[in-house]
Structure 1
Amino acid sequence: ESISSVSSSEKKFIGFLVKYVCTSKPKDLFTNLDKISKHMLDKMDPKCDENLYRKQYGNLKECVLAGAGIMSVFKLDGTSFRMRKRPVMDECHEAGIIPDDAWEEYLKAYDIFMTNYLSILKRTENNQCAKCDKRYHVTVTDCPKGDSHEPMYDFDKDEDVLNCRIE
């Protein structure tokens, strides 16, 4: 099933999931399925669109696994429900499966996530390799994708870590 064939009810559910993760865990951009389930059961009307959508599939895990659009936006690892990497999220938004209001929440959360992540990299003398996409300590030079790691960030470039990407 292609991303473009996502139903309006699945798109709305994706919007709910994106907003939930972005507002509850912006530093991480992931949560546990149990937390979403608990929120849906405890805080939402049992007959709201999101709960009715979920109930079509039984439990939340079955619901997310059945949704091609949902699984385009999220990755499920056990019960850890994680947003995909930014380029994939961009593609999903461009394909129209992430509603604009949820996209705005994602962009805000993504900045928080990246600020946190990059601050940790900077503070711990780490970087991310442009070739292998792995995090590495600056003293480690061997890259599995070539001779040596190619840093993705120059933390001396700017005080704001979001402006330190090497273009």
Structure 2
Amino acid sequence: MNNSRLSRIELFAFHTRPSFLHSPEPSGGWYGILKLTCGGQISYGECILCADDNAVDLVKWGSYLRHIRSCTAQEAFGLLQLHGQEWAPNQRALLLSALAGLRQTSKLPAEITSGSSRKEHRSSAVHPGTERGLQPTNQAEFALDPSLLFDEAVSYYSLL
């Protein structure tokens, strides 16, 4: 198992679905991409931050990510289990999708749940981003060009 710690957490906000994500999903509202760096691995998650045109305070919206700063991927999964019910569903899904990419090579647990005892979200063995436009990002052949992210993003938040 990879014992590397998360060395960088980056959150990008877009006023609409970024053009580099080729997907039939409708665009509109505010869209977010989470980039996690852990050792030599980079993984991405994506979600709709809000469905309307109201601006998003990315620092406030992403403040929940402080819980995983300097964690291993395994510890971050544990914190998702522990604190996930305190976060909005799109916050949980964004973090879960980014951590799923790290799980692929780290041999982390194949199933993680979040939500209340009545409603649960279980991740599948397939990286959640693959059916929505992001590819598994711990593979050497795929990585988003940082200039694409910064060119289209309207807001950026980083936790070191």
Same fold (TM over 0.5): no
Q: Which structure exhibits the higher relative contact order, with contacts defined as CA atoms closer than 8 Å and separated by 6 or more residues? A: 2
Pick the structure with greater CA Rg: 1
Higher normalized helix content (fraction of residues): 1
- After TM superposition, the score normalised by the length of structure 1 is 0.31
